[in-house]
Amino acid sequence: MNQTYMKEKPVLGLMLSLSLPMVISMLVNSLYNIVDSYFVAKISEDAMTALSLVFPVQNLVNAVTIGFGIGISAVIAFHMGAQDSRMADRAASWGLAFNTLHGVILTVGCIAVMPAFLDMFTADAEVAGLGLRYSNVVFSFSTVIALEISFEKIFQSVGKMAVSMFSMLCGCIANIILDPVLIFGLGPAPRLGIEGAALATGIGQCLTLAIYLVIYFVKPLPVHVGWKHLSGARELAGKLYSVGIPAALNMALPSLLISALNGILAGFSQVYVMVLGVYYKLQTFLYLTANGIVQGMRPLIGYNYGAGEHKRVKKIYRIALAMTAVIMVLGTVLSLLIPDRLMGLFSENADTVRAGAEALRIISIGFIVSSVSVTTSGALEGLGKGLPSLVISLLRYVLIIIPAAFLLSRLAGASGVWHAFWVTEMLTAAAAFLIYRRQTEKKMAGN
């Protein structure tokens, strides 16, 4: 199949055709996150707090599997752009094998560490018990997630964004439908409570994987997976992990950040822990949608870089940055106008809603400028420059925000933690701009 359209068609049209399906699927994925939390909050506020505490480890599973999947996509796209289908097939096959192994390890490891992890952040036996009940089920599907993500990135690497959109939509919609059925025992289904939310998530992931498999075998791709392509492990492992490890760390850093902020906020009140958890659910509407644009950008940048089309690489980056900024403007407006209504979806407690509304107003100051860091990290990953992308994420999620949150909380209480978000976004955006300019100049000159 001829993929040269990725370097021949107008950039704006290509970006829209590749990004819009992913934006739609990310919006539905965001809706699933919100609906899932909404129904869990209906169980009790303790259940919502438990979900907030489990979230960092759940995010870690996604980080490892999606991060390595980004490596798969980047390596495949580069070799497709260089017209080397043999290497692209090998990259897809080894990528699938390695990520499956990651899923098995994550299943065992996450279930094993959760009791000790929850004890670090709460002394409430009810909250800890709910967290364990949820995590034991949801982490049992880690290998399914790894397989699903691997196929998602293989399809995306060759521009099949509509397939990703359809598969993800089916899984998310199934999850949304099953949430109230399994949580509250509607119809013939048993009332499973918080385990029902976890099971609904797992069933949705299984459905998404099944759809990818059916489409892969029914409608051949220009890149193939199979035992016969499993040669040259050392060479491919180096390429896959050189992008995959930094990308995984990029995505895992929010888990470290949330855990650190939970530790700071718990010193003031468990209400703030819940507020932080709700914020991270709400912000998925923004950052997962922006991630849809980035997912459309990555294979385009990788393909055009592999094909030596450096001017197009620069144009793709600029258009993606503008599209991401538009999303962040919308998020800022909503957070300033109706923060209390957004928080009210997850709590009927007036104090919790008031605290959450204040947090949203303050944090949203940094939304627009964060588009620079988000787009730049994705562009660098598409170019195969995982380490500079990791530096940007380290600044954004660890090196600036955690010390700033600690220091500002000493001065302004819990509000200081919220102010640390926009301060960090401002400083990281400036650093991201300088890193991208330096790295792309070196990358283009060295190709």
Among 156, 159, 151, smallest CA distance to 96 is for 151
pLDDT tens for each residue of the chain, 447 residues long: 445 666 667 777 888 877 887 788 777 777 777 777 888 888 888 888 888 889 888 888 988 998 898 889 888 887 877 778 888 888 888 999 999 999 999 999 999 999 999 988 888 899 899 999 999 999 999 999 999 999 998 988 887 878 888 898 899 889 989 999 999 998 888 999 999 999 999 999 999 999 999 999 998 888 888 787 777 667 788 888 887 888 788 778 887 898 899 889 988 988 898 899 889 888 888 888 888 888 888 878 877 887 777 788 888 899 999 999 999 999 999 999 999 998 888 878 888 899 999 999 999 999 999 999 999 998 888 887 878 888 998 999 999 999 999 999 999 999 999 999 999 999 999 999 999 888 876 555 555
Record the tokens describing residue 241, joined without a space.
Answer: 């992990």
Write the CA distances from 2 to 92, 255, 265, 272, integer angstroms. 18, 40, 54, 53
Q: Amino acid identity, residue 108?
A: V
Indicate the DSSP class of residue 385: -
**pLDDT score, position 149:** 92
**Cα-Cα-Cα-Cα dihedral sign, residues 41, 46, 47, 50:** positive
Residue with tokens 């599973």: 61
Chain-centre distance of CA 239, in angstroms? 22
**pLDDT score, position 206:** 96
Segment (H or E) for 61: helix 45-81
**pLDDT score, position 1:** 44
**What's the rounded Cα separation, in Å, for the pair 407 and 265?**
13
**What's the rounded Cα separation, in Å, for the pair 42 and 39?**
5
**pLDDT score, position 271:** 87
Length of the chain: 447
* Domain chopping of the chain, boundaries: 7-446
Among 355, 379, 314, 325, smallest CA distance to 77 is for 379
- pTM, two decimals, is 0.71
Pair 99, 65: CB distance under 8 Å: yes
Torsion of CA 283, 284, 289, 293, to 10 degrees: 100
**pLDDT score, position 225:** 86
**pLDDT score, position 5:** 64
**What's the rounded Cα separation, in Å, for the pair 299 and 6?**
9
Q: How many CA atoms lie within 13 Å of 178's alpha carbon, on the beta-carbon side?
A: 20
Longest distance between any two alpha carbons in the chain, whole Å: 64
Q: Give backbone dihedrals phi and psi of 222, rounded to 5 degrees, phi first.
A: -75, -5
